[in-house]
Every structure is written in C-alpha cells, then in structure tokens.
Amino acid sequence: MSFDNAYESLLGHEDSHWAFGTGFSEALSGVNREFPVGVDREDIVAYCLMLGDDALIFSQRLSEWCSRAPELEEDIALANIALDLLGQARMLLTRAGEVLGKSEDDLAYLRDERDFRNVHLAEIDCGPGPGGDFGTTIARLLVFSSWRLALFSRLRGSADPVLAAVAEKGLKELAYHRDHAAQWTVRLGDGTDESHRRMQAGLERVWPFVDELFATHAVEARLTGVAVDPASLKSEVDGVLEAVLAAGGLSRPADTRAARVAGMAGRDGVHTEAMGFLLAEMQHLHRSLPGAVW
C-alpha cells in the first residue's frame, strides 16, 4: 500500500494506519468529496477544523507519554491511540484545506493559537512532567473517547460523504480507546488506596472541562443533517461514565464548569494557558525549517 494520500485508508484496506505517510498529492483519491447541496462550505470547513483539531491536539498530548508510561505495554498503547487520532486529524484537516487552499501540514503547523478550534479537554496539561499524572490522563481519555465514540456513531449518517466515511472508519478505533481507558479506570479505582486516590483526583481535574463537550456551537446548529448536535450526546455519555465509575468504586465529581472568556471557549479559538506551550513544541520544527519533509 502506497499511502500516497490521506484518504486511501477509507477504501477498505484493513491493515492500513492512517497516520503513516506524508507528502501526498491527491488528497481524496477514490473518495466522494462532493459537498451536500444547500450547505455552506465554510460551515463544513469550520466543523472539520473542530473535529480535526480535537484529534490533533489530543494526539499531541498522548504522544508526550512516549517512553514515560508506567509499563512498556502501556507506552505502546498510548502511542497507538495517538496515531489513530492523528489519522483522523489528517483527513479532517485535508477536507478543510481543500476549501481553504492549504495542506494538512499548513493547518497543523502554521496556524496561530486563536485559529485552533479544539475543546479545552484536549489541550489541558495532565502530564508527563511536573504535576503530570497517569490517572489524570486515563480520566481524560475515558471522557474524550466516550464522547467522540458517541459522536462518530451518529456522524456516520452525515450528509457530507467525507465526514460519514471518517466516522465509519473511526468507530472501531474509538471503541478500543474507550475500552482501554475504562479498563484502566476500573483497575486504578478498585486497586490500592493510592491508585484509587489518584484516579479520583484525575477525574476531579478533568471534570470542569466536560460541560464544554455538550455545548452546541452556532456552526453545529446550522449544519442540520451534516453535523451532530453535541447536546444530544449527553445522556448516552453520562450513562457510560456512570457505569465505569461505579465498577471502579469511584465518585462522579460535581458538575463544575471551567471559566470562559466572555462566554467563549475552545470552539471559538479561546484557549487555556497550556495551549500556547503545546503549540510551541508541536510547531517548532516545522516553523524552524520551513518546507522540510522527511
């Protein structure tokens, strides 16, 4: 398999890994890329950036655990989850870039902080490094994957053929991500006093950012039949989280909400302090050596 385009893995090759390969020239070879009739392309671009940035930024966070996870098997598992999300990001950013006249690399490495549209949950600093904690990373992965799996399950029916195809392809991966996080949550919650304490503390750390996942943005509201209204996902995701926490003997944190700036959050390009540091590391090489490929 050549991996000469970001969409090749949608064509039925079970052994493909989306994130492998760079420098493709025909981004949508073999995939229907027509836009739905009567739908604003700019809104579809904005929506692709939302979902693509969620995956890209969280992939970057998970990759920080390479060589630092508590065991070798988990080091590999987190790296593979990061690659799955990077693959989703590649295709969603490619879809947006076709309209914007930019490549996936342009959108990943050459946008400024205010141009990213990911939710805060994907960007907050949970580790490794000072203050980083494995339990917090597992708590974030549990919430994120439960939410994204529910979203992609509905997105399969999107009127946009690329969004529908990306969702269909991503379901199996996201189901694994959720299962992996759930198993670790139960293992830590029902383990030693220390593992229980740290798992509960991880949930407390990420919970203020959960509310944003279910807030309907104006772009999503306009894309009837194309996007998924995140508010419609809340009961399903809550049910999954309640079941996992109960199995691990953990308590659901209070439904607090992280502070916003004039009511705006990640979908509006308003980010936490952690985002600037994340982008400085992620974009440094590309900006230092413009046009470099490998």
Write out the E strands in the chain. none
- Contact indicator for 226, 158 with CB cutoff of 8 Å: yes
| pTM of the model as a whole | 0.89
In a domain, 293, yes or no: no
CA distance 13 to 252: 40
User: Domain for residue 111, yes or no?
Assistant: yes
Residue 282 lies in a domain: yes
Instruction: Check residue 22 and give its pLDDT.
Output: 36
In this structure, what DSSP letter does residue 133 have? -
CATH number of the domain encompassing residue 27: 1.20.1260.10
Backbone angles phi, psi at 24, to 5 degrees: -70, 155
- The answer to whether the beta carbons of residues 67 and 79 sit under 8 Å apart is no
- Cβ burial, residue 12 (10 Å; 0-12/13-18/19+): exposed
Per the omega criterion (within 30 degrees of 0), is the bond before 128 cis? yes
pLDDT of residue 255: 87
Helix (H) or strand (E) holding 84: helix 72-100
Comparing CA positions, the residue from 228, 253, 283, 238 lying closest to residue 111 is 283
Q: Are 248 and 182 in contact, with CB atoms under 8 Å apart?
A: no
- What is the count of structural domains for the chain? 1
How far apart, in whole angstroms, are the C-alpha atoms of residue 291 and residue 219?
Answer: 33
What is the rounded distance in angstroms from the CA atom of residue 281 to the CA atom of residue 294?
A: 18
Q: Is 104 helix (H, G, I), strand (E, B) or coil?
A: helix
| 2 located within any domain | no
Report pLDDT for 161.
Answer: 95
Question: Is 1 within the bounds of a domain?
Answer: no
Query: Residue 203 has which token pair?
Result: 């949930």
**8 Å CB contact between 93 and 104:** yes
pLDDT at 263: 87
- Residue 27 in domain: yes
- Residue 44: what pLDDT? 98
Separation CA 235–CA 68 (nearest Å): 35
The single residue listed with the structure tokens 């053929």 is 161
Averages of pLDDT over each 10 residues, the chain, 294 residues:
54 47 45 90 98 98 89 92 96 95 95 98 77 87 98 98 94 97 98 97 96 97 98 98 98 90 92 95 92 72
Q: In this predicted structure, what is the pLDDT of residue 23?
A: 38
How many whole angstroms separate alpha carbon 180 and alpha carbon 70? 15
- The C-alpha atoms of residue 88 and residue 17 are separated, in whole angstroms, by 10
Q: Any idea which residue has 């039949």 for tokens?
A: 225
From CA 35, how far away is CA 114, in angstroms rounded? 27
Determine, yes or no, domain membership for 294: no
Instruction: Give the residue numbers spanning the domain of 255.
Output: 8-288
Under 8 Å between Cβ of 178 and 240: yes
Distance CA 183, CA 209 (A): 22
